[in-house]
Amino acid sequence: MILVIDVGNTNITCGVYKGKTLETTFRITSNNQRTSDEYGVLLTELLSKAEIETSQIDGVIVASVVPNIMHSLLGGIRRYIYEEILIVKSGVKTGIRVGGKNPASTGADRIVDAVAAYELYGGPVLVIDFGTATTYDLVTEDGCFNAGVIAPGIRISAKALWEGTAKLPDIEIKKPDTILAQDTITGMQAGLVFGQIGQAEYIIQRIKKESGYDNLKVVATGGLGRIISEETDMIHEYNSALTLEGLRIIYEKNTK
């Protein structure tokens, strides 16, 4: 079994694969105050609750966009779970090329998503990750990740609303029944969700126009991606485990 770990700005998402089968997933918050022992014990307990012993883990891969927690996290994994850890970084085999003016600046999470989308759906493909930020990443038909858009995520936008204003409350993010909102809370929900849908549709249209890929496959992932993808026919597929699949694929490419 291999343990795959995606370290995001909000959550650390973990999965355990047996071959190509995803046996279990779990999440913990990305807390940079935890020690290596705390990470090790927490991960061990979560594995145990899924009836997986650390002795069954024979490989670990980590992708991270949060450098500050890596020392403690990796230390905890090595001490409690498995010594050898594959980290997604420059030099790791991915199966795609990263283009652009500064490939080294591309986040590991975006590369992992691009790898999964290209391997699972072929190219050209646009992968949209509705996470802390909303990212739109284009992989060409010959496997080159050469363009991407980064926008504020829904939760960041929501937080800006209730922290930057005196009277707007902290709300649950969900799609209201109508855009014709008649109170403050549903008005905020309508603006956040329908605004994100409109943004997604416009950016997809613009990418299709400028790339010339009329046959572009569009795949969404991320915690709030299902809400958005269900409301537009311009997103063809929603895959909640896309990032974990990408980590599995990269691990296999580097250990064969």
Q: From the centroid of its chain, how far is CA 166?
A: 32
Instruction: Return the amino acid letter for 80.
Output: Y
Which of 198, 125, 124 minimizes the C-alpha distance to 157? Answer: 198
Confirm whether 6 is a catalytic residue: no
Strand partners, 15: 4, 25
Beta-strand (E) ranges in the chain?
2-7, 11-18, 21-29, 60-64, 85-87, 97-98, 125-130, 133-139, 144-152, 217-221, 237-238
The burial class, CB within 10 Å (0-12 / 13-18 / 19+), for 188 is: buried
The burial class, CB within 10 Å (0-12 / 13-18 / 19+), for 221 is: buried
Triad 28, 33, 64: Cα angle to 5°:
55
Structure tokens at 158: 């929501």
φ/ψ (deg, to 5) at 155: -70, -35
Instruction: List the catalytic residue out of 6, 58, 109, 183.
Output: 109
Catalytic (active-site) positions: 109
